[in-house]
Structure 1
């Protein structure tokens, strides 16, 4: 597999490690709801990039790149959703309770769905993958589609592994701060503020 180069692996790892909306959501979930919830968030964030990867593979991302109206509509849907998450996190400030009860499976599903929507409603991801993945496809390849699928799958595995690591780290930190409601309130409000800032950055972004 000529396209599976060290450059691709290192570049992908750096991209995945950089904090973004998915990382912030996963860390916030790990701090507030625990290990399993953070894993659900990690899975949701990973699945949320699938539509963008598929759009890049089949050229659909070009529509967002060429159509200003489509890009703006997608972008502001993402902005509204980030603001919704920020409001929900701020409204629940101080409501976290740490106990040994199992979180219902429906809650894990809801967390995964929220995480998916965070990435799905970010039009910059489609354009990013449209520009990123083809760079690592050999020009003389006879199977460009399968090469793109392989690179996409590897990128998703790296995303899942890194996000789970972030979530488990947050869960580990939670053990040291769970007896301080003041710290948890400060963290929740901080994450709400971060989501507002991210929504503002997305709103001001251009193609």
Structure 2
């Protein structure tokens, strides 16, 4: 079991890092604004599991391995950026007819959304830096046992669920303000541009 103080410090640092604007948050918000909440659970679950993967790499001492096979992680980074660009294109070209935005849109493949969210986190430099550089300064990773690792995973999933839920609710509320065809065209293209910006941020760091 980990020291409660260390857990609180880790949770606080993760909350600040997760809540601060970045490619992951931009992708989540832009997606909800442009497509609604349908599929948001699968997408954000992928984003969160990506954090768990980076946590696992840090705890198991695989940071060196990650650097050794840097080309693999570079490929994952560009895959995440490419997926965001695809989402940006879908948002930019989405129909702009007036509609009930609270209604469910065309359903998307949940597995593809999950993998898309995972790719976004695996290629997000901010997440990499947090787990591979900052985390070792917060917790003595060499002393972590299976129970301590489980605690950290629980903290990660709890904090990210809180942060992502907040952003999803805010974005969903903002989306309800746009009902006309002109407004929908504006929001689709604005969120598409935000998504493309997130892709550029991932690819160029």
TM-score > 0.5 by shorter chain: yes
Is the 8 Å Cα contact of residues 31 and 191 (structure 2) preserved in structure 1? no
Secondary structure at 1:176 match in 2: coil
Is the 8 Å Cα contact of residues 64 and 127 (structure 1) preserved in structure 2? no
1:201 aligns with 2:201: yes
Out of 72, 75, 85, the position equivalent to 1:73 is 75
Compare 16-25 and 115-124 and name the one that shifted more. Answer: 115-124
Alpha-carbon shift at residue 154 of structure 1 (Å): 0.2
- Alignment root-mean-square deviation, CA: 3.1
2:15 — aligned with what?
13
Change (3 A) 1:61 1:124: farther
Alpha-carbon shift at residue 70 of structure 1 (Å): 3.6
CA distance in 1, matches of 2:132, 2:82: 24
Off by >4 Å, runs of 4+ in structure 1: 99-110, 138-141
Spell out the pairing of 1:99-110 with structure 2 (5 A cutoff).
102=104, 107-110=109-112
TM-score (norm 1): 0.77
Spell out the pairing of 1:26-105 with structure 2 (5 A cutoff).
26-92=28-94, 94=96, 97-98=99-100, 102=104
Is the 8 Å Cα contact of residues 27 and 167 (structure 1) preserved in structure 2? yes
Compare 168-177 and 38-47 and name the one that shifted more. Answer: 38-47
CA distance in 2, matches of 1:67, 1:203: 18
1:161 aligns with 2:162: yes
TM-score (norm 2): 0.78
Secondary structure at 1:188 match in 2: helix
Is the 8 Å Cα contact of residues 31 and 171 (structure 1) preserved in structure 2? yes
CA distance in 1, matches of 2:137, 2:159: 18
1:133 — aligned with what?
135
Compare 184-193 and 60-69 and name the one that shifted more. Answer: 60-69
Compare 15-24 and 76-85 and name the one that shifted more. Answer: 76-85
Change (3 A) 1:96 1:30: farther
1:176 — aligned with what?
177
Q: Deviations over 1:101-152 (max 9, x none)?
A: 55677555543443233223446634531223222324894x4454244223
Change (3 A) 1:45 1:105: same
CA distance in 1, matches of 2:141, 2:23: 34
Secondary structure at 1:94 match in 2: coil
Name stretches of at least 5 consecutive residues in structure 1 with no aligned partner. Answer: none
CA distance in 1, matches of 2:98, 2:67: 41
Secondary structure at 1:25 match in 2: helix
Name stretches of at least 5 consecutive residues in structure 2 with no aligned partner. Answer: none
Change (3 A) 1:140 1:203: closer
